[in-house]
A and B are shown apart, each in its own frame.
Chain A
Amino acid sequence: MALDKFEIASAEVQKYPVPIESLSDHELIEATKQGDEQAFAEIVNRYRNPITNFLYRFLNDYEEAVDLAQETFVRVYFAIERYHTDYAFSTYIYRIASNLAISEIRKRKRRKLLSLTGLFQAEDENGVEFQPPDEKSLPDEDLIEDERSRVIARAIAALPDKYRAPIILREIENKSYEEIAQILNLGLGTTKSRISRARGLLKDKLKTYF
């Protein structure tokens, strides 16, 4: 038994001369292409939380966000042979996730699903109905903070699709303008413009907090 463990450990040492956590995304991708599931598990470990968070902020629905995050990794796994290292892997995986999220939003619109987001969404795409919170009824600081977070989340989720993804990537995921432009396949100027416009819309929605 002990010998077995030793052999496994030796094999891992031979396989990865450095700890797997220190390998770059591209190295992990190459190892995954060779059939190394451990490398793919490390990729999942690195990106599951950011992707889930991004999708949650986009959809404002945790179950849906988890489901789409898993779907994102499934797509990555099956399309790993077609991935080229021309740009960062994070850009690649965020692009898949944002495309899935946008598709989901469109499906919702088609099905006329009434999610929490839908309650605040007007008939036309750009119109946003938003009700400011009633702060008088908040009993203590934690509840106030929770309520404020919910209001902000609703305000983000009520943004039009084209403004929602850029502002989340910029202000929540802390991506650079260039990376956002690559993820969303937009020009740099368009990306900046949309982020600025999203800020303006959010300030209008959240003006009671300013």
Chain B
Amino acid sequence: MSHEHLKNMVEDIEILNAEDEKLRQMLGGLKKVKAPSNFDFQLKARIANAERNHSPRPFLLPSLRFVLPLSVVVLLAAFIVFNLSLSSGNQTTDVAVNTPQIQNETRIAVPETISTPVISTPVIQETTKANLPANKIEVKNSAPEIAVLNNKTAANKANIVIVKNSSAVRNNKFENTNNDFGGTRQGASRASEVITPENSNTNFNVKKPVEVIQNKISLQEILSQIGIEGDFAANGWKILSVKENSSAMRAGLKAGDLIEAIDDKKLSSDTDFTQNFSVKVFRILREGKQQVIDLTAKK
């Protein structure tokens, strides 16, 4: 049985081999095709043509052709967003500059390079370094408390950097009133002060702040800042009105008072303050009697 099976297998294999051999002969017997006689000529022409049109390989890989422009666009967008965020930060701090609550905890200084008129509230002047409690003076150097504006455009116009340690500011408790005490953006934007801590790390070109305000400030401006509307009379400035809740009202100044001197400086129609001034003590004439009113005294 197995012998017959093996015999059949051998026969099948022989048949297969014969078929393979015949197939091999059939395929091998196919006529060989040759290239045409003008093959070389056509090939030379083709190579010459390809050489003329042959352009060097592009410098960039195909993927980089898209990635690089995309990166540039992304970087540009990031730059714009960054600038916008700085601008919005600048505006926020502007409001904070004139808020009454932080006045006691801010320190004003003007970079020596700034030549634009400087307007400073008298209240801020009261809180110069000398008047600040020691613990608050130290605070101005603490980095985490520093809010720095870094906007080149804004810096060119009004460099304002505020250093604050005010819990009121942190908690947004400051009042954003519209009186002349500040709290208005107009009042803040008028100012060109740089309020910055010593040793603060500001990126734009601000010199180390100085303790003096060099530029002229009119008396009317100063009075307006503390809530007084006045006009010059014969011997001084007559108070026409005092705004509600202003420093002047809290200090006890009233309409009808005649301000003769501020900090022992006699007033005239064109009195202005240039440097090293501090509006603290008012000498007034009320009902024919001289009185001294200290704005810094707590009522």
Contacts and interface: CB of A to CB of B under 8 A. Distances in A.
Interface stretch (A49-57, A87-95, A98-106): A49-57
A69 interface: yes
Nearest to B51: A78
Contacts of A57: 30, 33
Main SS at interface, chain B: helix
Nearest to A171: B27
B40 A156 contact: no
B27 A210 contact: no
Contact of A171 (B28, B42, B46): B28
A45 B35 CA distance: 10
Contact of B54 (A69, A73, A78, A174): A78
A56 B33 contact: yes
B30 A152 contact: yes
B36 interface: yes
Given A203-B19, A210-B19, A210-B22, A48 B39 contact: yes
A66 B24 CA distance: 25
B31 interface: yes
B46 to A, nearest CB: 6
Interface residues of B, number: 23
B43 A73 contact: yes
Contact of B46 (A49, A74, A172): A74
Given A69-B39, A206-B23, A210-B22, A74 B47 contact: yes
A156 B39 CA distance: 25
Main SS at interface, chain A: helix
Contacts of A181: none
Nearest to A50: B32
Contacts of A117: none
A48 B35 contact: yes
Given A66-B39, A69-B39, A206-B23, A172 B33 contact: no
Interface in B103-152: none
Q: Number of contact residues on A: which range applies?
A: 35 or more
B26 A66 contact: no
A175 interface: no
Contact of A153 (B19, B30, B34): B30
A60 to B, nearest CB: 11
A62 interface: yes
A202 B47 contact: no
Contact of A49 (B31, B35, B54): B35
Contact of B27 (A51, A65, A74, A167): A167
A49 B19 contact: no
Nearest to B18: A210
B50 interface: yes
B26 A74 contact: no
A65 B32 CA distance: 13
Nearest to B40: A44
Interface of B: 19-20, 22-24, 26-28, 30-36, 39-40, 42-43, 46-47, 50, 54
Interface of A: 41, 44-45, 48-49, 51-53, 56-57, 62, 65-66, 69-71, 73-74, 77-78, 148-149, 152-153, 156, 167, 171-172, 174, 199, 202-203, 206, 209-210
Ordered nearest first, which 6 A-B pairs have the shortest CB separation?
A171-B27, A48-B35, A52-B35, A56-B33, A53-B33, A49-B34
26 contacts: A41-B40, A44-B39, A44-B40, A48-B39, A49-B35, A52-B34, A53-B33, A56-B33, A57-B30, A69-B39, A70-B39, A71-B46, A77-B47, A78-B50, A78-B54, A148-B26, A152-B27, A152-B30, A156-B27, A171-B28, A172-B28, A172-B30, A203-B19, A203-B23, A209-B22, A209-B26
